[in-house]
């Protein structure tokens, strides 16, 4: 069995902020919780969430003979810029180069180091891109707990973290760490959500969530939905901004997640940007998920609010 400590060391060499390991077992508890969430329609128009249910719960259906899930975190906490705080606001995770590419490359590097040291290893790398319940795996790997705002919270990094996984067909010693839920009596995220989307601790009704409305919702927003955006034109960080664990988390400013242009982006530039410039500047950034028309339309309609 590959020693846990060596994997953690290799992940640190690659540049990840944290790493943990769990056995690739069935996600029994999540089957019930995720099933309930879907059955209540809290996934809204995100039909893909309801598909591949068994695959989400059983890693051996994604990687044949899967034995191990290695979870890694990379912090995107950064210095504040105006576009995070004055409308039209953009979520912190979105203002940088495509994190999928950055983290996948780091995961491939980690895989290559594991192969160099331990021989033939088969597996796949995942970043927010396949039916993988990444927060559940991160909890199982001892990297944190699920906060009442439904985000993974790491006691050192907070919740401004990207999560990635390697699912491998070799046995790695599990981390065997369980981090207790440290939300305690705090309800800041629930109290601060402008739309009441956190309907119970760890339960988001996407139909009311600004991040869903201004990124994922494919059908046109209703007037009432536009009025709910609270100044956000892409994503929403409100329930993370108020979290005490984010306030005390260290600012990492990882170079590979920085873009000089995006760091200096102003509301005026965004509001007046022609489509070809938008497509060229935001090419491969998370903003392309919503696309020019949706981002700019939402920006214009929310720029006087929030
Ligand atoms: S992202 Fe915004 S709208 Fe969604 S739950 Fe958090 S505070 Fe509420
Ligand atoms: S704001 Fe409070 S309740 Fe919400 S996730 Fe953070 S610590 Fe937990």
Dihedral angle, C-alpha 146, 150, 153, 157, nearest 10 °: 160
The SS3 of residue 179 is: coil
Separation of 101 CA from ligand 1 center, angstroms?
Answer: 26
Give yes or no for residue 305 having a pLDDT over 60.
no
What are the structure tokens assigned to 42, written together?
């809290």
When pLDDT is cut at 50, 70 and 90, the band that residue 130 belongs to is low
Give residue-wise pLDDT tens across range 50-83: 888 888 899 999 999 999 999 999 999 988 777 8
What are the structure tokens assigned to 239, written together?
């329930």
CA gap 39, 64 in Å, rounded: 29
CA gap 64, 18 in Å, rounded: 26
Domain of 109, in residue numbers: 1-301
Instruction: For residue 276, indicate whether it is catalytic.
Output: no
CA-proximal residue: ligand 1, atom 2 (nearest): 236
The SS3 of residue 89 is: strand
Residue 306 placed within a domain: no
Residue 282 placed within a domain: yes
Domain count, the chain: 1
User: If you count DSSP H runs as helices and E runs as strands, how many of each does the chain have, helices first?
Assistant: 16, 10
- Looking at every residue in the chain, the average pLDDT score rounds to 93
Look at the pTM and tell me if it is higher than 0.75.
yes
Exposure of 71 by Cβ count < 10 A (0-12 exposed, 13-18 middle, 19+ buried)? buried
Which residues have CB under 8 Å from 270's CB, separation 6+? 83, 88, 90, 233, 295, 296, 299
Q: Say if strands 123-126 and 161-168 run parallel, antiparallel, or are unpaired.
A: antiparallel
Task: Give the CA angle between residues 163, 253, 187 to the nearest 5°.
Answer: 60
CA gap 46, 38 in Å, rounded: 10
Give yes or no for residue 265 having a pLDDT over 90.
no
Residue 12 placed within a domain: yes
Q: Spot the catalytic one: 128, 237, 276, 297.
A: 128
State percent of the chain over pLDDT 90: 80
Residues with CB under 6 A from ligand 2: 147-149, 153, 183, 186-189, 242-245
Residue bearing the bigger pLDDT, 106 or 56: 106
| Residue 306 confidence (pLDDT) | 45
Residue 193 placed within a domain: yes
Ligand nearest to the CA of 184: 2
**Region 285-298 average pLDDT:** 92
As a 3-state breakdown, the chain gives helix, strand, coil percent values, each rounded to 5, of 40, 15, 45
CA-proximal residue: ligand 2, atom 8 (nearest): 183
């Amino acid at each position: 069995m590959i020693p846990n400590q060596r994997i953690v060391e290799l992940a640190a060499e690659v540049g990840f902020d944290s790493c943990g390991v769990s056995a690739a077992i069935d996600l029994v508890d999540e089957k019930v919780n995720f099933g309930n969430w879907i059955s209540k329609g809290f996934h809204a128009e995100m039909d893909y969430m309801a598909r591949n249910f068994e695959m989400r719960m059983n890693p051996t259906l994604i990687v044949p003979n899967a034995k191990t899930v290695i979870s890694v975190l990379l912090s995107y906490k950064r210095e504040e810029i105006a576009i995070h705080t004055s409308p039209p606001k953009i979520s912190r995770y979105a203002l940088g180069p495509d994190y999928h590419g950055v983290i996948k490359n780091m995961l491939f590097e980690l895989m290559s180091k594991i192969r160099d040291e331990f021989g033939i290893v088969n597996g796949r790398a995942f970043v927010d891109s396949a039916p993988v319940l990444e927060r559940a795996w991160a909890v199982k790997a001892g990297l944190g707990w699920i906060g009442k705002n439904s985000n993974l919270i790491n006691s050192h990094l907070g919740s401004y973290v990207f999560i990635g996984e390697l699912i491998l067909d070799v046995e790695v010693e599990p981390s065997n760490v369980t981090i207790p839920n440290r939300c305690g009596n705090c309800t800041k995220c629930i109290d601060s959500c402008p739309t009441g989307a956190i309907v119970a601790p760890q339960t988001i009704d996407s139909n009311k969530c600004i991040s869903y409305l201004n990124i994922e919702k494919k059908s046109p927003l209703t007037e009432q939905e536009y009025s709910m955006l609270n100044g956000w034109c892409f994503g929403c960080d409100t329930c993370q901004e108020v979290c005490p664990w984010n306030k005390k988390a260290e600012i990492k400013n990882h170079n590979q997640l920085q873009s000089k242009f995006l760091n200096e982006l102003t509301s005026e530039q965004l509001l007046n940007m022609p489509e070809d410039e938008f497509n060229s500047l935001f090419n491969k950034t998370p903003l392309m998920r919503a696309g020019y028309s949706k981002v700019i339309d939402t920006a214009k309609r929310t720029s006087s609010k929030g």
